[in-house]
Structure 1
Amino acid sequence: MGMRGGGGPDGRGRDAATYRTPDRVGQVITIKAKVTRAFSTSMEISIKVTVQDMFTGIEKLVSVAFSTFVAKPVGKEKIHLKPVTLVTEQDHVEHNLASERRKVRLQHEDTFKNLMKESGKFDDPTCDEEEGTVSTRGTSVQSIELVLPPHANHHGNTFGGQIMAWMEMVATISASRLCRAHPLLKSVDMFKFRGPSTVGDRLVFNAIVNNTFQTCVEVGVRVEAFDCQEWSGGQGRHINSAFLIYNAVNDKEELITFPRIKPMSKDDFRRYRGALARKRIRLGRKYIISHKGEVPLCIHWDTGNQVSLSNGNVEALKSLAAKSGWEITSAVEKVGGIQVYTQPVAHHK
């Protein structure tokens, strides 16, 4: 399902898309989409993609995504949407989760800015002292595409799905330059449509590796659109940005461990810290959404439950300490050698 601008629903962005298994030639792909909730003038669409092997009959979930659309107004006034009718218990669950995702989406920019300010207080990981660290300069990729009629809808606006496909292409090349293997797209983080493009525009795609986290790598992609006049003047329009997360496997289908990144310039450090901040946001988003409705996210303290809360906190810390796979995200050498670690949250199926 490609998001589109103009002529009906207008695609504004994609909170996140998760890819669980790659599809291959000869398999049957089923795409299901539905409106989970309407928010006055916008709506959330949930998209699930499954693939079925025709020889074995086995069906697997390939991708889950949540997109936000607004109805394109005929005049200047916004179109107000009617609430979605909830029929089943699952409809109610998805309706509530859509609200949680919207909160995360609306708070994303402020949360990101706060995390970037916080990261400025920490020293960057001492990459200079580590062996095997690499620069990202060799991962920069640029591609230019001309928007033709087959790439656009009947209003002449470029299909969102086409832009996403071009973005994935340059991001995959960028990731492959780092891992020297065939990277597999794992997820897409906060894909946002900032403005439209039309037939005749030249789209410039710039991709580069921002950071690595053991077995995954983040690639940032920026898209600028140029009409003929803008192309002559060298001033384009920033229409899209996204951050794509990749894995890579070896001949034994085992995940490859990526080398640590060594930031060299101020822009490298900005992108390096930004990737750390986005990872922290992703972990928090996964935790909040996956646990919503299962257990309360917090328990208020009082004198009657202080003992049970203390015991529970101790047990939780012991359980966390026993887990493997922790990744260092930042360090403060000046204050007793404090190090901050994170651990990926597993998918809940």
Structure 2
Amino acid sequence: MEDTYINETLAVKVGHVFPPDTNNHGTLFGGKLMSYIDDIASISAMRHSRSPVVTASTDSVDFLAPIRTGESVCLESIVTWTGTSSMEVFVKVLAENLITGDRKIAANAFLTFVAVDEEGKPVPVPNVIPVTEEEKYLHETAKERVEARKKRRAASKELAHVIQKGKPWK
């Protein structure tokens, strides 16, 4: 298993934002964007691991600017860090006014995927090699995000234990 340059994991998705894609404010539904994010991130993860993957977590989706009807939405994803079988994927979301050419970062997200075999068991993945300044920054700061993820997951398990009594909410 050979290490992979981060840019080899790049996946890009571009589309128009049409009225059925938007909410009552004329901006792209957040849930629709989250679906696009998970889709494009899984492509980067599979491109890197060359195996099926499952989404283990979505750290955050930070909505920074609205994406309006008539604009294009462009998602770019890369694998920024790898563990034994897990991969951190960064997604950058750009909105573009196709008439003026103005572009802005509309959102960003970090997700974690696990490479699995046909039976759903984790399989090893190669390391990633950062080259550009952006890639190096994302790679070097990943350890902090991994630790935060572990703490959040432990807290989520604790919460599930407390609230999971097999009874519906009253």
TM normalised by structure 2 equals: 0.84
The aligned amino acid for 1:175 is: A
Alignment equivalent of 1:280, drawn from 143, 147, 156:
147
Q: Which has the larger radius of gyration?
A: 1
Deviation digits for residues 218-247 of structure 1 (CA, Å, limit 9, x no counterpart): 11001011123442xxx4121111011111
Separation in 2, partners of 1:205, 1:138: 16
Q: Secondary structure at the match of 2:80?
A: strand
| Aligned positions of 1:233-244 closer than 5 A | 235-244=102-111
How far the C-alpha of 1:195 sits from its partner, in A, is 1.6
The aligned amino acid for 1:164 is: M
Separation in 2, partners of 1:181, 1:289: 28
How far the C-alpha of 1:267 sits from its partner, in A, is 2.5
How far the C-alpha of 1:269 sits from its partner, in A, is 1.6
Q: Equivalent pairs: percent with the same residue?
A: 26
Task: List runs of 5+ in structure 1 lacking aligned partners.
Answer: 1-130, 293-346
Deviation digits for residues 291-342 of structure 1 (CA, Å, limit 9, x no counterpart): 68xxxxxxxxxxxxxxxxxxxxxxxxxxxxxxxxxxxxxxxxxxxxxxxxxx
Give the RMSD, CA atoms, in angstroms.
Answer: 2.2
TM normalised by structure 1 equals: 0.43
Residue-pair matches, total: 162
Task: List runs of 5+ in structure 2 lacking aligned partners.
Answer: 165-170
Deviation digits for residues 188-218 of structure 1 (CA, Å, limit 9, x no counterpart): 0111111211110111111111011111111
1:249 aligns with 2:116: yes
Alignment equivalent of 1:172, drawn from 22, 28, 42:
42
The aligned amino acid for 1:211 is: W
Separation in 2, partners of 1:276, 1:288: 19
1:228 aligns with 2:95: no
- Tell me the residue number matched to 1:85: none
The aligned amino acid for 1:241 is: N
Q: Structure 1 171/289 Cα, relative in aligned 2: closer, same or farther at 3 Å?
A: closer
How far the C-alpha of 1:261 sits from its partner, in A, is 2.0
In terms of mean alpha carbon deviation, does 279-288 or 235-244 score higher?
A: 279-288
1:214 aligns with 2:81: no
- Tell me the residue number matched to 1:297: none
How far the C-alpha of 1:262 sits from its partner, in A, is 2.3
Structure of greater relative contact order (alpha carbons < 8 Å, 6+ residues apart): 2
1:193 aligns with 2:63: yes
